[in-house]
Amino acid sequence: MSYKGEAAHPSAPTVAKVRMRFAKRGRARFSSHRDVARAMEWALRRAGVPVSLSQGFSPHPRLSWIGAAPTGAASEAEFVEIGLTRDLEPEALGREVGAVLPEGVVVLDVVRAGPGALADRIDGSAWRIEMPGVDPTDLRAAVAALLAREAVEVERMTKNGPRMLDVRSALVALDVMEPLGERHPDDERTSDDPGPTRPDASTDRRTHARSAVCGTLSTVVRHTTPVVRPDDVVSALRTVAGLEPPVPVKATRTAQGRLDDTGVLLDPLEVDRDPIGR
């Protein structure tokens, strides 16, 4: 027996690390960062992935999270770094974990971690913000008004009370996307809800909703402190142009990475895939 208060076994050392890009789609967008983190820990256990544990009295799995999307926002570009007690093929790990993750959390890419910190390769995010019921013409005018300003401060409620942040200075790009045809290319309802067949009334409602106006923004923001979120961009449009979305907007992070000189985001896992460079 080990002596009082001492863990019976020291934790096995971290011998390898992988980095994973995953998506939060469909109804999973309503999960918080804590929810996703818990689900990921359980999925790793279920899949039998030997995650290394921190040392000490109450060990926890070594997962490092980077810039989680807020509750309510979908994402195609969430990142986590996972410490392993055994080197594993990244592809096999991604496949096995992906098979047991909850609906809507989808593994997109797994690589062995090369040198350097992942956090150093991420300083910006690209978002698509769908605004049902907002006329694209009105949206264009609001965007022009926002871009014309030097600074646009908005208020956000934080745990420590209201806080002001400048949205304008974080904006690298802000555009109104051209209306897409009948159906959005990644309309989340197609993939995540195999649900029952819908009676006519409900089908009508959907058709109607799809044909109704919807302004869609595409934006790239630089990660300032605190990080500007899609809701802050919408607040900024309200501030400069009085734009009021009639229903909650739907935001999807499409990319995260290093901003190059032209405002394009570079995939942070590319360096690991090809550590020597071409």
Partner 1 sequence: MSLDVSTAPGSVYDRLEPLLPRVRKPVQYVGGERNATVTPWEDAEVHWVLCYPDAYEVGLPNQGLMILYEVLNERPDALAERTYAVWPDLAELMREHDVPQFTVDAHRPVAAFDVLGVSFATELGYTNLLEILDLAGIPLHAAQRTAEHPFVLAGGHAAFNPEPIADFVDLVALGDGEEVVGDITDVVKAAKAEGLSRHETLERLAGVPGVYVPGLYAVDYHDDGSIAAVRPTSPAAPERVHKRTTSDLDDWPYPRKPLVPMAETVHERMSVEIFRGCTRGCRFCQAGMITRPVRERSKQGVSEMVEAGLEASGYSEVGLLSLSSADHSEIGEIAKGLADRYEGTGTGLSLPSTRVDAFNVDLAEELTRSGRRSGLTFAPEGGSERLRRVINKMVSEEELIRTVATAYEHGWRQVKLYFMCGLPTETDEDVLQIATMAHEVVRAGRRASGRGDVRTTVSIGAFVPKPHTPFQWAAQTAPEVVDSRLRQLREGINSEKSLGRNIGLRYHDGQPSLIEGLLSRGDRRVGRVIEAVWRDGGHFDGWSEYFSFERWESAAARELHGVDLFWFTTRERDQHEVLPWDHLDSGLDRGWLWDDWQDALDSREQDDCRWTPCFDCGVCPQMGTEIQIGPTAGEMAPGRMLPLTPVETRTSTPVHNPRLGSS
Residues that bind partner 1 (CB under 8 A): 1, 4-5, 7-12, 27-28, 30-32, 34-36, 38-39, 41-53, 57-59, 61, 71-72, 85-89, 92-93, 95-96, 100, 102-104, 132, 189, 192-199, 201-202, 205-206, 209, 247-248
Cβ 26 to partner 1, closest distance in Å?
Answer: 8
Instruction: Map residue 184 onto helix, strand or coil.
Output: coil
Nearer to partner 1, 41 or 81 (CB): 41
CA 92 to chain CA centroid, nearest Å: 23
Nearer to partner 1, 47 or 145 (CB): 47
248's CB contacts (< 8 A; 6+ apart) are: 72
Cβ 278 to partner 1, closest distance in Å?
Answer: 25
Q: Which helix (H) or strand (E) holds 64?
A: strand 63-66
Cβ 57 to partner 1, closest distance in Å?
Answer: 7
Cβ 160 to partner 1, closest distance in Å?
Answer: 19
Nearer to partner 1, 140 or 203 (CB): 203
Instruction: Give the bridge partners for 110, in sequence order.
Output: 20
Cβ 137 to partner 1, closest distance in Å?
Answer: 23
Nearer to partner 1, 222 or 238 (CB): 238
Nearer to partner 1, 36 or 122 (CB): 36
Instruction: Map residue 105 onto helix, strand or coil.
Output: strand
Residue ranges in 119-198 assigned as alpha helix (H)? 136-148, 188-192
Cβ 98 to partner 1, closest distance in Å?
Answer: 12
244's CB contacts (< 8 A; 6+ apart) are: 238
Nearer to partner 1, 101 or 122 (CB): 101
Cβ 165 to partner 1, closest distance in Å?
Answer: 20
CB 69 within 8 A of CB 35: no
Token readout for 174 is: 């802000």
Check residue 261 and report its DSSP letter: T
User: How far is CA 224 from each of CA 67, 124, 170, 278, rounded to the nearest angstrom?
Assistant: 12, 9, 6, 32
Token readout for 120 is: 């150093």
Other CB atoms within a 10 A radius of the CB of residue 130 amount to: 18
Nearer to partner 1, 103 or 155 (CB): 103
